[in-house]
Homo-oligomer: A and B are copies of this chain.
Amino acid sequence: MNPLAPELDVVRWFNTSTPLTLAALRGKVVVLHAFQMLCPGCVAHGTPQAEKLHRLFAQSGEVVVIGLHTVFEHHAAMSEVALAAFIHEYRLTLPIGVDRPGADGPVPRTMRRYGLRGTPTTIVIDRDGVVREHAFGQVDDLALGVLVGSLVAAPRALPVADGESAGCDEGGCRLPAAARP
**Alpha-carbon distance between A154 and B155 when the two chains are bound, in angstroms:** 8
**Alpha-carbon distance between A84 and B90 when the two chains are bound, in angstroms:** 20
A173 within 8 Å of B (CB atoms): no
Say which one of A3-11, A16-24, A73-81, A158-166 lies at the interface with B: A73-81
**Alpha-carbon distance between A112 and B142 when the two chains are bound, in angstroms:** 29
On A, residues with C-beta under 8 Å from B are 38-40, 43-44, 49, 52-53, 56, 73-74, 76-79, 81-82, 84-86, 88-90, 140-155
Residue of B53, B78, B146 touching A148 (CB-CB under 8 A)? B146
B142 touches A90 (CB 8 A): no
Residue of B43, B81, B142 touching A144 (CB-CB under 8 A)? B142
Query: With A146-B56, A150-B150 as given contacts, are A86 and B81 in contact (CB-CB < 8 Å)?
Result: no
A151 touches B148 (CB 8 A): no
A142 touches B38 (CB 8 A): no
B49 touches A142 (CB 8 A): yes
**Alpha-carbon distance between A148 and B154 when the two chains are bound, in angstroms:** 12
Residues in chain B near residue A143, CB distance under 8 A: 56, 145
A85 touches B78 (CB 8 A): yes
